[in-house]
Structure 1
Amino acid sequence: MSALPRIRPAFISRRNLLLAGLAVPLAGLGLNRPAAASADTNAAIRFIDSLGQQTLGILNQPQPLAQRETQLRELLRQGFDLAFIGRFVLGRPYASLSQEQAADYHQAFNDFVLRTYARRLSGFQARSFAILGARAAGDTDTEVSTRIDPANGQPVRCDWRVRQSGQRLGIIDVAIENVSMAVTQRNEFASVVNTGGVNGLIGTLRARADRETVNVSR
Structure 2
Amino acid sequence: MLIRSWFPVSILAAALFIPAVFSSVQAAAATDLLAISQDEEAKSFIRTLSGQALQTMLRHDISDAERTRYFREMFRTTADLEAIGRFVLGRHWHKATADERVEFLKLFESITVYTWSRRFKEYSGQGLTVIRVRSGTAGMEEDVVVESTINPSQGAPVSVLWKLKRSEKGLHIIDLVVEGISMAVTYRSEYGAVIHRSGGEVGGLLAALRAKVGELRGDD
Secondary structure of the residue aligned to 2:122 is coil
Cα deviation code 1:84-137 (max 9, x no counterpart):
101111110110111112112211112112221222345323243332221122
Change (3 A) 1:128 1:84: same
Aligned to 1:161: 163
Aligned to 1:72: 71
Change (3 A) 1:191 1:112: same
Task: Tell me, yes or no, if the aligned pair for 1:159 and 1:174 is still in contact at 8 Å.
Answer: yes
Matched, 1:50 2:48: yes
Change (3 A) 1:85 1:127: same
Matches within 5 A, 1:1-218: 6-9=1-4, 11-12=6-7, 14=8, 17-19=11-13, 22=16, 40-66=38-64, 67-137=66-136, 141-150=143-152, 154-196=156-198, 197-216=201-220
Change (3 A) 1:115 1:78: same
Q: TM-score, normalised by structure 2?
A: 0.77
Task: Tell me, yes or no, if the aligned pair for 2:88 and 2:187 is still in contact at 8 Å.
Answer: yes
Query: CA separation in 1, counterparts of 2:153 and 2:212?
Result: 29
Change (3 A) 1:155 1:69: farther
Whose Rg is larger? 2
Report the count of equivalent residues. 198
Aligned CA-pair RMSD = 2.9
Q: TM-score, normalised by structure 1?
A: 0.77
Change (3 A) 1:203 1:150: farther
Give how far 1:20 is off. Answer: 7.0
Secondary structure of the residue aligned to 2:61 is coil
- Matched residue type, 2:3: R
5+ long unaligned stretches in structure 1: 1-5, 24-35
Change (3 A) 1:155 1:72: farther
